Structure 1
């Protein structure tokens, strides 16, 4: 029979036992005599402080957007992308919890992130995919305690073991400032120049940026800043991108005009003082306003100032178009401002001052070919036509002349990185320190520029030898000086190569560059200490194979490596011969084949040179508008801009020219005594810089790759501009702080055998930003 089990007695458990090491798994409890066990107590100094727990919440980005906008945009002039806002919302919700709004925890976190971002040299647009933002948030994560940023948490841990007076003295020290608070030292963002001391050669800071390497920035009209395009540029874009090319040009010129002081509303004190000095109201005469074309309807007989692009309608009539509409132009009595000082051609954005005249039958004469808002009936009778006022580089980016009296609005885009080499606000001061240390005041730091290097003409190679010989120092010189870069520009063939022209096939084209390599091999010391930059022209491969020398779409890619291998080998051999036996340290010579156009920068944003090989002057002369000669008693003045700006009377804006035919010390000539070459140089310079574009023409006159048209923008204004134009005279002009240069043809004989070996080029000093036309032989 079954025996009933005796119930077990419950075990005797002490009143205050030490808990089991694993009670969940039923580990037997071993009672310990509490009389033999002393309580374990931590010393007061080592007892860890209780860390408050934060209940994480799911914070939607839309809820955090107003606070982030006030902190980043209003206070620090930064713009958050959707991914950055999502990352910040996730971080605040996780580490600040439900008290992010009531206790002000999120505002302090966002403030610290914004300061850390600017300290790290970030761009104006904060992107959530950026590694810098991730590093900042990761560093701040270790500094959070109960939803708050604890200052001093990144200090060494031995400070927590200090007791007594030492700890009190340490607590009385001033806390870290906002710029070096949490996130700065941990991110290792230092301003020391330990790494810069290793770069003793200024050529280390010279960089060539091709057109296909430049970032594409799009101007946002709503937020009034440039933002990086999210669409990857393509050689086969969507047809809608064609309209966007001209839309972006108009937006850039329009925002630049609105920042000009003549288009800004005067203050109350200015209008009041002007009223006391003159009779009548002056408020409307002091401020110039631009009238949209669509607003002309119903305002016949009134005077307006229009900003638009010159276009030619289907019937051949000249018209003006903006984003609101198109209107026919009557320029029979109009005068260009300044007279004979600029070109006006279709495709340019111009200012026209005149009167609107309504006519119901005028709309049908244009065939309905209008702008976005259609064609406005009637016509606009122009009195004067002028280019938009130019803007200095310091007014756009800031810098040493940031507080210039003429720059009332201040730098507009100081935090914008236009070329991918850093912004002015983030790296400008550091680059200036490095440049002042590496650029010797007693030495010349030149960039040599030569154009029209026709390798199929023997006299051109002789002229090139003359150029290279002039920059080869004496072997006995203890401190030789070499140019920073030598820019050789096409066309590298006088005939269209690979286009079926006799003597211009692929074999002959390669032989021409082999001949150039033979010339360079004779100057090993020079090519081992400088940078050779080659910019192609319209006659160079591969586009010349189908264009037969006609204008090819810009930008165009460099000369293929297939034809240039021997030049690369010559430079490499020169580096082995020179640097293999030399004990000096420096940067070896290099050869760069870049696009047309391209950019050359030195010391980051300190200096920028835009390079273009194109016959701009001839195209302007063929397509420009012919104006009737005005009466001699009419003053050369336009109401939208001061006369000093239009006539270049101001000493800072006066055009300084260097024409080879005129002596350098010659006195400036009067307007009626200026020769044709000088007049052409001034008109070409003023037109291109005022349009802020290297090709202000319609696509029918100068084709462009739509998605890469931003590489031809001249906004902000570069430090220098090279317009290699074979049809224009050689000149050096400085206008609004930008040095514009045209080296002309390197062979002065023109291939006719006369004065063989005489070379002509331009020498530009990057330290003083001045250029000179040189001619030797």
Structure 2
């Protein structure tokens, strides 16, 4: 039989373990306060883990800080307590429709809280409440916390009416009551212009959130100090302030550098002998080259072309000229403004005779999350379920599918004929969770005149009417629209904003879950991140290569490796593809996503690289109307085509 002291030590260990899992550090006063609160509320051992998980999640949502002290913890618990008390005064709401009485479907799939959950002790007042109420309390704390952190709304599309209810078996370790899972509520689309911006802080060796309003004030103050004035709001500018351009390249550099320095090839153990240290690679900063002629070095930086046509390597502090005549390159597409590892000899002429060029080593998503698991790079809404629970859900729903098509030319009659056949096929079988329709939605460049504008809008009206002919699909499936090169607005600058509402009103009216997103955009489904990018990137990279591509590797694999290893969707020079300096972080691939859709005119492909499933559906009209289907349960995809009639 355990003693009170042993029980107290077990509780303390559980507290520390749970908060550490959420990347939180407890001060002594916070630990003692939490121990006393748990003891006073008489939380049973079987509820301890869930209770602590919810408290930690609530703290992260509200405070957004890694250090936990008693004062902050008291505020979080008080907020949770107030909201839970408020919940018990509210009537139960129908999950399927808040304006209708309980339907047969909801009765079968959504038992009431009193039937479905036993009453448990908690931290929200003197009365015992169930764990579901505690989770709702956490959600309210989370809403308050996001307001504190962002001073704005999340950029995601969340639909909660007329949901498809699906039963799900217990998903937590240990004993957990049966839970209903609405799979449609586990999908969120994140717009590029609303993604949180994170900058690397070298002094504390982590990422810190950039507040756009604060950044704007700092820039304006600097300009006023220099006698100039810039008053345009930072979020309303196309490219951003001039300072943003330098910050953009520095951000790309530091994201990759910190990743390199944690790679096992560059990070020797601290306590090793000299011979052991020599087995590891060492980066040399460019400013350390001076006076060391004749030596060979390994360097990291950005490839830059000077006004005289020569190429140089540039890091955060210096630059050095390069001689590329006899260089050998590994697999990858190397262009100006891409970041590379270069090995070569420093000469008396203060140039590097380049021997090899390579991409920085990649890092698995799992490894990144181990280090920065507490940082929300994506900006999707927080789920009450843990990552492990969401992973189990994704794996168990094997029939969930995303149908991906690119170049849906709405000015071509053949497009609608083929789409009708595809919709008929899916409506008579398993309904996809989402249709991802990438542009261009016009076969030629958009001309800004009345005739073109009317025809473009009419194309979407016709598409809306076609989808509405399949009521179940129009009601329950998501339709996600991503603009392409020929679509209006945004020009040639990345990221591209969504297609204007003027053209899409009928689609949004007839298709319940239609979402018009930016390019690129991201989907959060369960525990997975899916990146969608519509760009003819391969041909652009090939036209701008500094050195010829490696001939031993398929060109599409070199493309994917360039993008993932470089942690950026568009590693092209700005003279070739303009990028909004203030929103370059929306093109960043860090951490590596679970799935990457590179919608390109190049032939369709699908393969896995660094545990990321990479795919290109190809151009719908020029590939004999083929498309791609992605299955998140198994992280695989299939290339599909309508069978040709046999004679």
Q: TM-score, normalised by structure 2?
A: 0.71
The 2-side partners of 1:523 and 1:117 are apart by 45
Query: Which secondary structure does the structure 1 equivalent of 2:547 belong to?
Result: coil
How many residues align structurally?
511
What residue number does 2:376 align with?
A: 417
What residue number does 2:424 align with?
A: 469
Give 5+ residue unaligned stretches, structure 2. Answer: 1-17, 38-51, 82-120, 137-167, 169-177, 214-233
Deviation at 1:127, TM superposition (A): 5.4
Q: 1:328 to 1:512 in 2, by over 3 A?
A: same
The 1-side partners of 2:498 and 2:635 are apart by 27
Deviation at 1:110, TM superposition (A): 9.7
The reply to whether residue 454 of structure 1 matches residue 409 of structure 2 is: yes
Deviation at 1:528, TM superposition (A): 2.2
Counterparts of 1:85-484 in structure 2, within 5 Å, are 108=32, 118-120=56-58, 122=60, 126=64, 136-137=74-75, 139=77, 190=131, 200-232=181-213, 234-236=235-237, 237-266=240-269, 268=271, 282-337=275-330, 341-359=331-349, 378-397=350-369, 411-421=370-380, 430-434=386-390, 436-437=392-393, 440=396, 443-473=398-428, 481-484=430-433
Q: 2:616 aligns with which of 739, 742, 760?
A: 742
Deviation at 1:309, TM superposition (A): 0.3
CA RMSD in angstroms comes to 3.8
What residue number does 2:626 align with?
A: 760
What residue number does 1:5 align with?
A: none
Query: Which secondary structure does the structure 1 equivalent of 2:345 belong to?
Result: strand
The 2-side partners of 1:74 and 1:439 are apart by 27
8 Å contact 1:613–1:724 — kept in the other structure?
yes
Deviation at 1:248, TM superposition (A): 0.4
What residue number does 1:497 align with?
A: 446
Q: 1:493 to 1:74 in 2, by over 3 A?
A: closer
8 Å contact 2:261–2:267 — kept in the other structure?
yes
Pick the structure with more helix per residue.
2
Q: Structure 1, residues 637-670: CA drift from partner, whole Å, max 9, x if none?
A: xxxxxxxxxxxxxxxxxxxxxxxxxxxxxxxxxx
What residue number does 1:16 align with?
A: none
Deviation at 1:285, TM superposition (A): 3.4
Q: Structure 1, residues 288-322: CA drift from partner, whole Å, max 9, x if none?
A: 11100010000001111000000101111011000
Q: 1:109 to 1:302 in 2, by over 3 A?
A: farther
Q: 2:589 aligns with which of 705, 711, 714?
A: 714
Query: Which secondary structure does the structure 2 equivalent of 1:419 belong to?
Result: coil
Deviation at 1:123, TM superposition (A): 5.7
The 2-side partners of 1:713 and 1:593 are apart by 21
8 Å contact 1:135–1:187 — kept in the other structure?
no
Q: 1:628 to 1:127 in 2, by over 3 A?
A: closer
The 2-side partners of 1:253 and 1:722 are apart by 22
Q: 1:609 to 1:188 in 2, by over 3 A?
A: farther
Counterparts of 1:559-578 in structure 2, within 5 Å, are 559-571=499-511
Q: 1:194 to 1:348 in 2, by over 3 A?
A: closer
Q: 1:254 to 1:123 in 2, by over 3 A?
A: farther
Moved more, 115-124 or 234-243: 115-124
8 Å contact 2:394–2:632 — kept in the other structure?
no
Query: Which secondary structure does the structure 2 equivalent of 1:528 belong to?
Result: helix
Q: Structure 1, residues 586-639: CA drift from partner, whole Å, max 9, x if none?
A: xxx411111111001112xx101001111110110011122599xxxxxxxxxx
8 Å contact 1:125–1:227 — kept in the other structure?
no
Q: 1:201 to 1:439 in 2, by over 3 A?
A: farther
The 1-side partners of 2:53 and 2:630 are apart by 39
Q: 1:772 aligns with which of 598, 613, 638?
A: 638
Q: 1:223 to 1:78 in 2, by over 3 A?
A: farther
The 2-side partners of 1:108 and 1:358 are apart by 65
The 2-side partners of 1:183 and 1:520 are apart by 47
Q: Structure 1, residues 569-597: CA drift from partner, whole Å, max 9, x if none?
A: 332xxxxxxxxxxxxxxxxx411111111
Query: Which secondary structure does the structure 2 equivalent of 1:762 belong to?
Result: strand
Q: 1:319 to 1:117 in 2, by over 3 A?
A: farther
The 1-side partners of 2:564 and 2:464 are apart by 36
8 Å contact 1:482–1:526 — kept in the other structure?
yes
8 Å contact 1:79–1:126 — kept in the other structure?
no
Counterparts of 1:613-692 in structure 2, within 5 Å, are 613-627=534-548, 679-692=554-567
Q: Structure 1, residues 336-364: CA drift from partner, whole Å, max 9, x if none?
A: 11xxx3111111110001111132xxxxx
8 Å contact 2:335–2:545 — kept in the other structure?
yes
Deviation at 1:121, TM superposition (A): 5.5
Q: 1:139 to 1:448 in 2, by over 3 A?
A: closer
Q: 1:535 to 1:107 in 2, by over 3 A?
A: closer
Q: Structure 1, residues 203-246: CA drift from partner, whole Å, max 9, x if none?
A: 12111111122112222121111221122352423211110001
Query: Which secondary structure does the structure 2 equivalent of 1:729 belong to?
Result: coil
The 2-side partners of 1:73 and 1:539 are apart by 49
Counterparts of 1:580-599 in structure 2, within 5 Å, are 589-599=512-522
For the pair shown, the structure with the greater C-alpha radius of gyration is 1
Query: Which secondary structure does the structure 2 equivalent of 1:263 belong to?
Result: coil
The reply to whether residue 488 of structure 1 matches residue 437 of structure 2 is: yes
8 Å contact 1:302–1:356 — kept in the other structure?
yes
What residue number does 1:701 align with?
A: 576
The 1-side partners of 2:54 and 2:71 are apart by 9
